[in-house]
Amino acid sequence: MNLWSAFLSHQDADHPTHKWKYYFPVYERYFQHFIYKPLTFLEIGCWRGASTRLWKRYFGPHATIIGVDINPACKAYEEDQIHIRIGAQQDTQFLQSLLDEFGVPDIVLDDGSHMMSHVTATFEFLYPRMAKNGIYMVEDLHTAYWQRFEGGLRRPTTFIEKAKGLIDEMHAHYTQGGALLPTNFTHTTMSVCFYDSMVVFEKCAAKVNRGISMPASYDAVHHLVLDLLYLDKQSDTAELYQRVRLETDGERLLQANERLLQQGQLRPAYVIAMVLAKSGREHWNIAFSLAAGEMIFRLPMQWEYPLQELARMSDGVESQQREEYLRERVRPILVPFLQRVLQQRSVEYLRQIVAITQACIPDLQESLSGLESGAAGEESQNSLLAQAALVLQRLQA
C-alpha cells in the first residue's frame, strides 16, 4: 500500500489527518527508501495524532515515531512505536533532550507552528545533528508570505529566504576569491529542493573528491549509450531522437555525447548534440559532433556554422592551455575517427575529417596540407591514406 492509499483508507473522524494532497508524491519520493528499516522519524506538530499513526503504518514495525507538540493533550496519542513529547520547537534545550533520549533523527518533518523564527531555530539546531543520509522537510511554507507567521514577500527573516541563501552555501566550494567560505552545510548537503509550499534538504557524508564520477552515474551513462547504439543500429533516427529528448539530465547527455565521440559513433552523438544545442547548451563536443554528423552523414544542419564554432572554441583557449586542451579534449576523439577512415580506406570521409580537424586544431595545418587535395587513382589514394596515417601518429604522440 502506498502512502496516499494509506491516508485515504485510514481516515478517522475523531483523529483526522490534514495534508495537502500534492505533498504525498514528495513524501514518497524521499521516504520510500526507509520503509521496513530501523528509522527515527521526528514530526514537529501532532495536531490530533493521526499523522503519527499514518507514519507508523507507512514505515512499518521497525520505525520509531516521535511527535512533538506544545499541547499537553497530544500526549494521549502515544502507543506502541509512537512517542509524544511536549515542548516548544524553538527551545534548543528541549530539542537536545529529544536527541539524548532517541538519538539523531533520520527524518525531520516540520509541520509545527509555522512561525518563521521557530522554523529557522529548529532547522539550525537539528539539521547539523541529523544522520548523514537524513532528510529534513519543512512544509506549509506558503506561510512564509503571510504576516501573521512573521512572513512577507522577500522578507529576509523568512525560511524561504534562508533556504534560497543555503543554495549558495551548498555551492560555496565553487565561489572565487573566497566570496563564500564553505561551511558544515556545504560539506554535508547533497541537495536543496523546492516544491509548492515545501523545501527538502538531503544530507550526505562529507563531500570529498567531487570530481570522481560515482558508479551509479557511470552505469546510467553506460546504459544510455547502449540504448542509443542499439537504436542507431536499427537505423531508427526518429526513435533515436525521441530517446534523447526523454533524457532530462543534461550532464548525462554531455557525458554520453563525449563517450560516443570517443568511440567514433557519430550519428547518435550528433542527435544528442542537436537536442542540447536547441536547449542553448554551449560545449565544445556539441559543436564537434554537429559538424561531424552534418559533414560525414549529410544530416540536416541545426547549428549555423559548426566548423566556425569549433574554431572559435579552439581560439578561445588561452595559449598556455592550448596543448592541454588539444591533448585532453580534441585529440582523443579525432584518433578513432582517423582509425576508422584508414580501416575503410575512405578518401571522401578522410577529406571531411581533415576539414573538421583543421577547424579544431590549427596547429596541425602543416601536417594536414598534403591531405587537402588528392587526385583520383589508387596510387594517389594510397599516398593520401599514408599521409593520414602520419597525422594519426602525430595525434597519438
Confidence (pLDDT) at 11: 54
**Whole-Å CA distances, 16 to 54, 121, 132, 181:** 10, 28, 33, 46
* pLDDT band, very low/low/confident/very high, at 5 (cuts 50, 70, 90): low
Q: Which is the catalytic residue, given 15, 62, 83, 114?
A: 114
With residues binned 3-state (H G I as helix, E B as strand, rest as coil), the percentages for the chain, rounded to 5, are 60, 10, 30
Q: What is the pLDDT of residues 149-160, one digit of tens each?
A: 999 999 999 999
Q: What is the pLDDT of residues 234-244, one digit of tens each?
A: 766 778 888 88
Chain mean pLDDT for the chain:
78
> Is pLDDT at 51 greater than 70 in this prediction?
yes
Pairwise pLDDT comparison (256 vs 82), residue with the higher score? 82
* pLDDT band, very low/low/confident/very high, at 233 (cuts 50, 70, 90): confident
> Is pLDDT at 382 greater than 80 in this prediction?
no
Query: Would you call 114 a catalytic residue per the annotation?
Result: yes
* pLDDT band, very low/low/confident/very high, at 143 (cuts 50, 70, 90): very high
Task: From 17, 60, 16, 19, select the one nearest 36 (Cα to Cα).
Answer: 60
Task: From 124, 130, 110, select the one nearest 45 (Cα to Cα).
Answer: 110
| Mean pLDDT, residues 103-113 | 95
Chain center to CA of 25: 19
> Is pLDDT at 165 greater than 80 in this prediction?
yes
In angstroms, rounded to a whole number, what is the distance separating the alpha carbons of residues 298 and 168?
A: 45
Q: What is the pLDDT of residues 301-317, one digit of tens each?
A: 544 445 555 555 555 55
Confidence (pLDDT) at 227: 82
In angstroms, rounded to a whole number, what is the distance separating the alpha carbons of residues 322 and 320?
A: 6
- What is the chain's Cα-based Rg? 29
Relative to beta strand 198-203, strand 135-138 is antiparallel
* pLDDT band, very low/low/confident/very high, at 357 (cuts 50, 70, 90): low
Q: What is the pLDDT of residues 186-204, one digit of tens each?
A: 888 999 999 999 999 999 8
* pLDDT band, very low/low/confident/very high, at 379 (cuts 50, 70, 90): low
| Mean pLDDT, residues 325-339 | 62
In angstroms, rounded to a whole number, what is the distance separating the alpha carbons of residues 8 and 272?
A: 44
In angstroms, rounded to a whole number, what is the distance separating the alpha carbons of residues 229 and 269?
A: 10
Confidence (pLDDT) at 209: 45
Sheet holding 82-86, edge to edge: 82-86, 63-69, 39-44, 107-110, 135-138, 198-203, 189-195
Q: What is the DSSP string of 207-223?
A: P--TTSPPHHHHHHHHH
- Beta strand ranges found along the chain (DSSP E): 39-44, 63-69, 82-86, 107-110, 135-138, 189-195, 198-203
> Is pLDDT at 180 greater than 50 in this prediction?
yes
Confidence (pLDDT) at 327: 56
**Are the CB atoms for 125 and 136 separated by under 8 Å?**
no
> Is pLDDT at 325 greater than 50 in this prediction?
yes
* pLDDT band, very low/low/confident/very high, at 213 (cuts 50, 70, 90): very low
Q: Which residues pair with residue 79 across a beta bridge?
A: 82
| Mean pLDDT, residues 364-369 | 57
In angstroms, rounded to a whole number, what is the distance separating the alpha carbons of residues 143 and 246?
A: 36
In angstroms, rounded to a whole number, what is the distance separating the alpha carbons of residues 356 and 292?
A: 7
| Mean pLDDT, residues 265-288 | 77
Grid cell listed for 113: 507552528
Task: From 134, 105, 128, select the one nearest 187 (Cα to Cα).
Answer: 128
Relative to beta strand 82-86, strand 107-110 is unpaired
> Is pLDDT at 10 greater than 90 in this prediction?
no
Relative to beta strand 63-69, strand 135-138 is unpaired
How many Cβ atoms from other residues are within 10 Å of residue 393's Cβ?
11
Sign of the torsion angle spanned by Cα atoms 152, 155, 160, 164: positive
The domains located in the chain, with CATH, are 3-203 (3.40.50.150), 213-301 (no CATH), 317-397 (no CATH)
Grid cell listed for 209: 573528491
Confidence (pLDDT) at 355: 64
Pairwise pLDDT comparison (336 vs 226), residue with the higher score? 226
